[in-house]
């Protein structure tokens, strides 16, 4: 008998947002397609020249640094957090992470005992439930309302019935683009305080909100500091997802435990990247580039969602932030199409994803990966021409289903 890998490794799902490339390459090769890729949640532009130069200069930091992160960067982040969400964290209450994904992964190990429950507001980023499972916790899903907004009544019921210990959500939300209002955050905070549970607020898209809205954080609500933990990072704001750098901020006991675990898991974040982030978070060039990017993605969202609203069987809420469209496609379930001499029936979001690949030459991510099978996610972090071309292909293909 051969050796076996662990049950955990077998059961963890691959990242749906990162695992489509092989299928896309196969279709392009076999049928000569050029696929328009609207899957990856990453900006189409990179860092500004001053940030790149700082990365090169940071190469001199070739030895181990503090596991918690370089003090200079944590000091800068303390000022950024205070300026943007109105909460002052001491640098000792901040830890630099290997991306937000690593931050959430380690936080789950810090906060959850095996078998304890974590509440995840639906729709959710694909890694949330897997991070809970990797910590031997149990993910419990909290349904949103019909507008994909948080539902306090359902949240309270879920917290009480399942003895939720940790609550996790993102705002602006990946995948829906919903930005939580002050009233909604107040409603969540009330439940968190009454039940004395942890809440993790993923604010990685906080710099990308549309049409004059203001990003608000649950951490700015009075008395939430002892229960709430912020996770954020540089990847979306500065176009550096491949650099894998984020941070967490929260109660000192949490950050101390987090740092202890991080020391064994990855030893800390790349020091040249931390050096470059000192420049990014203080650079006027970088700030202007972020704002220009936000404006482009706002326009992309307007164009794409307005166009989708004219397509047969598709409805889509207007994104308020992040850079995604998350349309409802349920009315198209049960329809059929032909491709390469075969007939196919659309029954799930994965079927619809495959339909778009084959008939529209556009690839998106199935909604089931985000906890909602009646939906599909498009990333709009690209140029306007690509958005227009993709929209035309989708409307034409869906029109055939009618």
Q: What is the DSSP string of 341-380?
A: TEEEE--SHHHHHHHIIIII-EE-EEGGGGT-TTBEEEE-
In the chain, where the domains are located: 7-45+287-401, 49-283
Q: How far is CA 115 from the centre of its chain?
A: 25
One DSSP character per residue, 85-124 reads: HS----GGGEEEESHHHHHHHHHHHHH--TT-EEEEESS-
Per-residue pLDDT reduced to its tens digit, 89-135: 999 999 999 999 999 999 999 999 999 999 999 999 999 999 999 99
What does the mean pLDDT of the chain come to? 95
- SS3 (DSSP) at 127: helix
Residue 207 has pLDDT above 70, yes or no: yes
For residues 200 and 230, give the distance between their C-alpha atoms in angstroms, rounded to a whole number.
6
Contact predicate 192/222, CB 8 Å: no
Check residue 1 and give its pLDDT: 58
Query: Model's pTM, two decimal places?
Result: 0.95
Per CATH, 7-45+287-401 and 49-283 having the same topology is answered no
234-260: average pLDDT = 97
- SS3 (DSSP) at 229: strand
Per-residue pLDDT reduced to its tens digit, 276-331: 999 999 999 999 999 999 999 999 999 999 999 999 999 999 999 999 999 999 99
Check residue 119 and give its pLDDT: 98
Query: Which CATH architecture group holds 7-45+287-401?
Result: Alpha-Beta Complex (3.90)
Per-residue pLDDT reduced to its tens digit, 316-370: 999 999 999 999 999 999 999 999 999 999 999 999 999 999 999 999 999 999 9
Check residue 18 and give its pLDDT: 60
Check residue 9 and give its pLDDT: 85
Q: Among 3.30.450.40, 3.20.20.70, 3.40.640.10, 3.90.1150.10, name the CATH number for the domain at 49-283.
A: 3.40.640.10
């Amino acid at each position: 008998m051969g050796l076996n890998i662990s049950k955990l490794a077998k059961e963890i799902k691959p990242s749906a947002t990162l695992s489509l490339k092989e299928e896309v390459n196969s279709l392009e090769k076999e049928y000569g397609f050029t696929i328009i890729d609207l899957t990856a949640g990453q900006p189409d532009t990179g860092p500004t020249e001053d940030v790149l130069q700082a990365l090169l200069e940071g190469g001199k930091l070739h030895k181990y640094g503090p596991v918690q992160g370089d003090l200079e960067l944590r000091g800068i982040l303390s000022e950024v957090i205070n300026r943007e969400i109105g909460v002052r964290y001491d640098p000792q209450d901040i830890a630099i992470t290997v991306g937000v994904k690593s931050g959430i992964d380690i936080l789950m190990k810090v906060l959850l005992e095996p078998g304890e429950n974590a509440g995840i507001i639906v729709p959710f980023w694909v890694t949330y439930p897997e991070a809970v499972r990797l910590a031997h916790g149990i993910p419990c899903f909290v349904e949103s309302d019909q507008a994909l907004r948080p539902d306090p009544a359902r949240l309270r019921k879920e917290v009480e019935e399942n003895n939720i210990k940790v609550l996790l959500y993102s705002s602006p939300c990946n995948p829906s683009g919903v930005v939580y209002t002050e009233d909604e955050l107040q409603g969540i905070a009330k439940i968190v305080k009454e039940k004395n549970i942890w809440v993790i607020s993923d604010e990685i898209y906080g710099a990308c909100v549309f049409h004059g809205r203001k990003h608000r954080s649950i951490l700015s609500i009075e008395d939430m500091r002892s229960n709430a933990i912020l996770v954020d990072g540089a990847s979306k704001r500065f176009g550096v997802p491949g650099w894998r750098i984020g941070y967490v901020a929260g109660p000192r006991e949490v950050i101390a435990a987090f740092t202890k675990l991080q020391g064994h898991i990855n030893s800390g974040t790349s020091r040249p990247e931390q050096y470059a982030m000192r420049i990014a978070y203080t650079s006027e060039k970088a700030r202007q580039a972020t704002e220009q990017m936000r404006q482009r993605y706002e326009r992309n969202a307007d164009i794409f969602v307005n166009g989708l609203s004219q397509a047969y069987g598709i409805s889509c809420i207007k994104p308020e932030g992040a850079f995604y469209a998350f349309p409802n496609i349920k009315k198209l379930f049960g329809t059929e199409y032909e491709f390469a001499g075969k007939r196919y029936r659309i029954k799930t979001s994965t079927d619809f994803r495959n339909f778009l690949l084959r008939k529209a030459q556009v690839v998106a991510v199935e909604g089931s990966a985000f906890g909602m099978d009646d939906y599909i996610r498009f990333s709009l972090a690209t140029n306007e021409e690509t958005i227009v071309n993709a929209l035309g292909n989708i409307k034409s293909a869906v029109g055939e289903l009618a």
